[in-house]
């Protein structure tokens, strides 16, 4: 058998070459697969290292910020209540006036004469009525005649009161203290009843109106302290004076108003203003924005490790921003925050933490 095999190999030497090549390939394949399995096993068993800092929370007051613009406390368009020609003007645009101050006068025409006539007639009607009462008491005049005299007297009183009111309305007075924002008439203009004459604004207090969301409105109440930041970078204290009870249908937000003292009315309406309202304090941690991440749903948070050294994702909300970093709510009283390598690990991964002092990451 061996002689026959040797004879065949001698006659066909290429068969031996083929057998040798196949054997070598099998040997090399076996060794490569073994090395690959060892490498895969080694890679699987390797645990990622991450830099971690243990942080302790501090109580930080929660601040709600709203944006609006300053507006007058009151704005009125004063209109004529009596027809007539503008006869005198006592104010200029931009002038401050006290409540009740005379602003302008309309021509009184013959109202003074009519008032004198009505006054004289009222005296006559009064005397006639008193005479009718005396005659009635003596039984010389019936009750109907007395009642007629009483009616004439009442008509006389009504006419006199009407003329007095017309005369009074020829003098336009300020309904409240404020600034003449616009004057809409000039000397010689004729105005009818209802025609606008001037625009009066009251800037003390100055009011800032803004809109709060459903979540924000739960922490607000009337009388709450508020601070306004205007263009001059100064802060002014005030109070919340109004909170809407019904949300706006189009924006689903609630209107709020804050009032600020403006005794000299040096601040004007229309300033862009930021309102800051401080709420109850809550534990927050100071971190660099670089340590924040997004989860699969787009929520902002921070990756931390738990007691089993596994990665967790904590949703956070911004308390305030400073030059040192951002203060975040939502991490509890203490947290082991991943500060280096958070981009290479996923939630649920087991990691090897390398703890560093909080001071060593300051300023990063």
Residues 283-310, mean pLDDT to the nearest whole number:
89
Q: Are residues 300 and 312 in the same domain?
A: yes
Q: Is the pLDDT confidence value at 183 over 80? A: yes
Number of other CB atoms surrounding residue 177 within 10 Å: 16
Q: How confident is the model at residue 224 (pLDDT cuts 50, 70, 90)?
A: very high
Residue finishing a domain among 280, 311, 329: 280
Lowest-confidence pick of 3-12, 51-60, 75-84: 3-12
The reported pTM is: 0.58
Burial (CB < 10 A; 0-12, 13-18, 19+), residue 71, is: middle
Q: What's the CATH number where 247 sits?
A: 2.40.30.170
At residue 320, does pLDDT exceed 50?
A: yes
| pLDDT of amino acid 141 | 73
**Please, which residues have CB within 8 angstroms of residue 349's CB and are 6 or more apart in sequence?**
48, 310, 311
pLDDT, mean of residues 309-322: 87
Distance CA 266, CA 200 (A): 16
Rounded to an integer, the average pLDDT of 12-17 is 54
Per the structure block, which two tokens stand in for 43? Answer: 């890679």
pLDDT of 44 higher than 70 = no
Q: What value does the mean pLDDT take over residues 235-258? A: 92
In the chain, the number of structural domains is 3
Residue 1 has pLDDT above 90, yes or no: no
- Domain enclosing residue 258, as ranges: 65-70+204-280
CATH of the domain at 324: 2.40.420.20
Residue 34 belongs to a domain: no
Query: Do 287 and 357 share a domain, yes or no?
Result: yes
Task: Name the average pLDDT for the chain.
Answer: 83
Q: What is the DSSP letter of 232?
A: T
Same domain, 223 and 273: yes
Confidence label for 329 from pLDDT (cuts 50, 70 and 90)? confident
pLDDT band at 98 (very low <50, low <70, confident <90, very high): very high
pLDDT(362) > 90: no
pLDDT, tens digit (0-9, with 9 covering 90-100), for 103-153: 999 988 888 888 788 888 888 888 888 887 877 777 777 777 888 888 888
**Residue 53, in any domain of the structure:** yes
Alpha carbons 65 and 326: distance in angstroms, whole number: 16
Q: Name beta bridge partners: 310.
A: 350
Whether residue 22 lies inside any domain: the answer is: no
* Alpha helices (H) along 139-252: 143-169, 214-217
**Final residue in a domain of this structure, among 125, 144, 169:** 169
Quick check: is 199 in a domain? Answer: no
* Backbone phi and psi for residue 355, each to the nearest 5 degrees, phi listed first: -80, 140
Q: Which of 287, 348, 342, 327 lies closest to 54, judged by CA?
A: 287
pLDDT score recorded for residue 238? 93
């Amino acid at each position: 058998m061996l002689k026959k095999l040797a004879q065949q190999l001698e006659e066909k030497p290429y068969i031996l070459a083929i057998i040798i090549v196949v054997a070598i390939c099998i040997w090399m394949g076996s060794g490569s697969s073994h090395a690959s399995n060892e490498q895969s096993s080694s890679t699987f068993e390797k645990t990622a290292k991450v830099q971690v800092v243990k942080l302790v929370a501090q109580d930080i007051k929660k601040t709600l910020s709203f944006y609006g613009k300053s507006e007058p406390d009151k704005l009125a368009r004063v209109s004529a209540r009596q027809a007539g020609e503008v006869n005198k003007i006592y104010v200029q645009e931009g002038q401050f006036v006290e409540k009740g101050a005379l602003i302008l006068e309309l021509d009184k025409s013959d109202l003074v004469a009519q008032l004198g006539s009505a006054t004289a007639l009222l005296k006559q009607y009064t005397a006639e009525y008193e005479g009718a009462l005396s005659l009635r008491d003596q039984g010389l005049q019936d009750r109907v005649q007395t009642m007629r005299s009483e009616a004439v007297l009442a008509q006389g009183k009504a006419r006199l009161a009407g003329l007095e009111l017309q005369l009074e309305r020829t003098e336009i007075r300020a309904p409240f203290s404020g600034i003449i924002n616009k004057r809409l008439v000039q000397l010689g203009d004729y105005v009818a009843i209802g025609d606008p004459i001037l625009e009066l604004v009251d800037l003390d207090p100055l009011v800032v109106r803004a809109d709060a969301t459903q979540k924000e409105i739960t922490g607000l109440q009337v009388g709450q302290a508020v601070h306004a930041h205007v263009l001059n970078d100064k802060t002014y204290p005030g109070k919340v004076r109004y909170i809407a009870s019904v949300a706006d249908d189009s924006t689903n937000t609630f209107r709020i108003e804050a009032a600020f003292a403006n005794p000299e009315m040096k601040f004007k309406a229309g300033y862009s203003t930021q309102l800051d309202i401080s709420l109850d304090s809550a534990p927050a941690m100071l971190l660099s924005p670089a340590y924040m991440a997004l989860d699969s749903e787009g929520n902002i948070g921070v990756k931390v490790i738990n007691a089993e050294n596994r990665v967790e994702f904590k949703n956070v909300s911004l308390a305030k921003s400073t030059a040192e970093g951002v203060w975040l709510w939502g991490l509890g009283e203490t947290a082991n925050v991943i500060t280096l390598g958070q981009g290479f690990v996923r939630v649920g991964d087991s990691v090897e933490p390398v703890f560093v002092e909080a001071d060593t990451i300051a300023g990063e």
